[in-house]
Amino acid sequence: VSTCSLPTAGQGGHGKCDCGKCKCDEGWYGEACQYPTTCNLTRKKSNEMCKNSQDIICSGAGTCQCGRCKCANSEGNGLVYGKFCECDDRECLDDETEEVCTGHGKCYCGNCYCEAGWHGDKCEFQCDITPWEIKKRCTSPDGKICSNRGTCVCGECTCHDVDPTGDWGDIHGDTCECDERNCKAVYDRYSDDFCSGHGQCNCGMCDCKEGWTGKKCEHPRSCPLSAEESAKKCQGNSNLPCSGRGRCECGQCTCFPPGDNRVHGKNCECDDRQCENMDGNVCGGRGICSCGRCICQDGWFGKLCQHSRKCNMTEEESRSLCESADGILCSGKGSCHCGKCICSPQEWYISGDFCECDDRDCDKHDGLICTGNGVCSCGNCECWEGWNGNACEIWLGREYP
């Protein structure tokens, strides 16, 4: 299949395909005529456009040429590819035979996807039981393969371990049917206590001690309110009791983490951590935080008061800094102010220097993005100090009193 950018209607092709190879128009080069010979971008701007989600230029596997990555394929085999050279199919090659996935699977972005009956990182191991038997052994009581919490390899489930320390994780069982995270209360990740400290967790279900009730043993039987009435009182205008930021006990909220006065309010509705950047600066030093929102000084605006209302650039200079590699202003999802993109406030989940990120891609726990213990940065959670896990759901900091 030809990789030429053919000049078809609605597309900007830069060459013609001749017998499977591209003949580029004047001013363009590359195997698909994707690189301009003259670049109008500054080196800094070009490098910014070539950075992957970890801020590494072309994933360390290529060079940046006018905002586009040219992947390092010294042998011309095309095994390193992707917008940011993030895919390296050399990882799929057998060390001895150099066969792709040992001839028993297909490679996609450096990972082998094995044919039925084969497994291993490079599909090098053969399974001695039938595909039907494999599926049967891995099917959980609810009819799902490994309860959708693990991977099935030759009839055995490998459960996703959520403990970043490498210790035995919260998910276990022959078919990963037990998820002990279900025994932990919302936002109680700083504690090792299951079932609110008032019960024992058995395969994801709480057995409460005498005097306590509720799905997570969170409700004292001595409380004059029912568990439902208590939760409703703690919920206020939020979707979760204590806004998902504290413990509800007999209609009263205790905000988490204890001792951190940045989370406050009758229903823990105020989270002043939202006013801080990853360096801990509140509202960029240009405003004050009020219940999780920045009130900016005159002359500044933005979620963290990061934008100055004054601008010393021309409109043309400003726009040139807001265009992404495809030439679209702020990815079509925001406006440009003084060379920086301001993403559409109507779409809260849009972020990134060019509004290219969708924060809905960040992992959730208890229905909250990054469990509320970090910020979503271009689809990945950046956790606040003391928190860890893909969704910042695990407390690894000091114990609170």
CATH number, position 236:
2.10.25.10
On the CB side of 191, CA atoms within 13 Å amount to 19
- Predicted pLDDT of residue 209: 92
Closest by CA to 51, choosing from 362, 391, 352, 349, is 352
Q: Which of 238, 273, 308 is the last residue of a domain?
A: 273
Cα–Cα distance, 125 to 25 (Å, whole number)? 49
Give me the DSSP letters along 65-85.
ETTEEEE--TTS---EESTTS
pLDDT at 4: 53
Residue that terminates a domain, selected from 228, 248, 273: 273
Identify the domain boundary among 245, 273, 301. Answer: 273
| Paired residues of 375 in beta bridges | 382
Q: Cα Rg for the chain, rounded, in angstroms?
A: 27
In a structure prediction context, what are the per-residue pLDDT tens digits for the chain, which is 401 residues long?
Answer: 444 544 333 334 788 888 878 888 888 887 778 778 888 888 888 888 898 878 889 988 888 988 888 888 766 677 888 888 888 888 899 888 889 998 988 888 888 888 877 888 888 888 888 888 888 999 998 889 998 888 888 888 888 765 444 445 678 889 989 888 788 765 444 455 688 888 888 888 999 999 998 888 888 999 999 988 998 999 888 888 888 888 888 999 988 776 778 889 999 999 998 898 877 889 999 999 999 999 999 999 988 898 888 888 898 889 889 987 777 899 888 899 999 898 887 787 888 888 888 888 787 766 778 877 788 888 788 887 777 777 887 766 654 43
Closest CA to 344 of 289, 287, 381, 303: 303
Encoded amino acid at 9, one letter: A
Whether 12 is covered by a domain: the verdict is no
pLDDT of residue 160: 76
Question: Is 9 part of a structural domain of the chain?
Answer: no
> Which pLDDT value is given to residue 70?
86
Query: Omega before 257 cis (within 30°)?
Result: yes
Burial 214-233 (b: 16+ CB within 10 A, else e): bebbbbbeeeeeebeebbeb
**C-alpha closest to that of 357 among 383, 380, 336:** 380
Q: Is residue 117 part of a domain?
A: no
pLDDT of amino acid 36? 82
Residue 299 placed within a domain = no
Does residue 132 lie in a domain region? no
Judge whether 165 lies within some domain.
Answer: no
Total domains in the chain come to: 2
Q: Is residue 262 included in any domain, yes or no?
A: yes
Tokens representing 220 are 């004292």
Would you state the pLDDT for residue 282? 93
> What does residue 137 show for φ and ψ, rounded to 5 degrees?
-70, -30
- Asked, for residue 298, whether it belongs to a domain, the answer is no
- End-to-end CA separation in angstroms for the chain: 64
CA-nearest of 37, 34, 27 to 4 is 34
Which pLDDT does position 14 carry in this prediction? 80
Would you state the pLDDT for residue 2? Answer: 45
- Provide the domain limits for residue 384: 362-395
Residues in the chain, overall count: 401
